[in-house]
Structure 1
């Protein structure tokens, strides 16, 4: 194996800072996707469930909702993949640091989990659920409901009238 080039400490800090910034950007993108998806879903459900909409409009908006669900989950997963990749790189890099200086991966996750934002029902109902999976399931429910809207618009269109 050829000799590895020596990297001076300033370059190492720059590389670390670059990967840390990129990880932060991936994390921001992960959570922007479901918010934008919810906005689109709300608009589409206004059409799909509105009493004045035709069956064709209901079916079309529900199909678009299904497509948005699939695209959002896929994009969210891809952003999460980048974020996890960088987090693992940073955690591996930090193994050479003393324990208190490790800010990524398991050490950070363990410190985070020690702190509870609430001691009541909120902690019991919400915190145990991983946020990424919860959002994927939630977006999937939008897709499932859209499938039901399509079926109802075809079989029982009178359900949508006043």
Structure 2
């Protein structure tokens, strides 16, 4: 089973969540998503006034796939990476920027929001989010012993019979 590349929870999750909330307020975008490069949504925020969001898991998967394809194109063209992607339609824009090597910050907004403003505030948020993600990578992985496994099995046997 494929799992997210980052485990974002607890205080680190709250700090990232706060950064996304501030980014929403500063820019006026509809949706902010922090996506890992495997296509998992690590955190997301949506504006209160925004219409019903698209299927965020599908957006995350496609954004990660597109980032992988873009990385291959960058490599073919002799670039180390392309750190941002912009997809503009008639009514909306999807803006994606790398957060280190592990995540992608994705913003979805309509044509009333200036792309330059989004880029400026997104870069500031990325600096802060990157620090948080670096901190959680340095945390030791929890190790669960046999007693946990046995206890969990016993609990499930009791519950399910």
Instruction: Verify same fold: TM over 0.5.
Output: no
- Greater helix proportion: 1
Q: TM-score, normalised by structure 2?
A: 0.31
Query: Which protein shows a greater Rg?
Result: 1
More strand by share: 2
TM-score, structure 1 normalization: 0.30
